Amino acid sequence: MYRKMIIVISLSLAFVVNPVTAQQEVAVEGHEQLSAKLENMQSLQGSFRQEIYDDNELLQEATGRFYLERPARLRWITDEPDDSVLVADGETIYYYNPFIEQVTLYTQAEAMQANPLLLLLDSSANWDAFTVTQIAEVPADNSDLNFWQIEDRQTYGSSLTLGFEDNQLQQLIVDDGQGQKSVFYLQNTTDNTAIDESMFTFTIEPGVDVDDQRE
């Protein structure tokens, strides 16, 4: 139902349950530590470079800009190679594809269920639904970053990994558990500054086809 919107930011996630008690104890501590980092980030804006892999082979690169404000507001703009705009205003998600002049509308609460991106946007998110662990072995060429992996306790397969330099979010790694992975490098970021309200509104222009998936 949300496939087109999720592909744009590569957050089509199904997660893995971890039954090992010792790891669950570490995960509780991970929740607290990661939550503290996110509490320091009330807003974030900047640009990004995305690398999309299939079985470790680089398939495509993309660039764009983003504006994030907690709780629950996001504007994600992909400039190249395929233009698109995603806006989450707290109630509705708008995904606009200018090539086909179509905007698809989703109920934000439903789209974000069991999605770890919610933890970035909403401080009231249910952390008990996720396993959070700090990764000891960091990806290559990222020795300056601290990585945290978020997995869902109820489903199987994929993960969202966040890379921080101190308290600054620098990287997101999305693994769908089936060989496809997207790496987002956040660049020129500014946190905790005012973002214009217009960034979180979407106006449907005349002539644009509307696909309303809200229930």
pLDDT digits (tens, 9 = 90+) for 129-184: 678 888 866 655 556 788 888 876 665 667 788 888 888 889 988 887 788 888 99
Beta-carbon contacts of residue 7 (< 8 Å; ≥ 6 apart): none
Is residue 74 a contact partner of residue 64, using CB atoms and an 8 Å limit? no
Strand pairing partners for 86?
76, 95
Q: What is the pLDDT of residues 42-96, one digit of tens each?
A: 889 999 999 989 998 999 999 999 998 887 888 999 998 889 999 989 899 999 9
Domains and CATH numbers, the chain: 3-212 (2.50.20.10)
Q: What does pTM read for this prediction?
A: 0.79
- Residue 177 — left, alpha, or beta (φ > 0 → left; ψ -120 to 50 → alpha)? left
- Please state, as a whole number, how many other Cβ atoms lie within 10 Å of the Cβ of residue 17: 11
Q: What is the pLDDT of residues 178-208, one digit of tens each?
A: 888 889 999 999 999 999 999 999 999 999 9
The span from the CA of 45 to the CA of 39, in Å, is: 16
Query: Distance between alpha carbon 173 and the CA centroid of its chain, in Å?
Result: 9
The span from the CA of 164 to the CA of 34, in Å, is: 10
Pairing of strands 146-152, 209-212: unpaired
- Indicate the residue type of 64: G
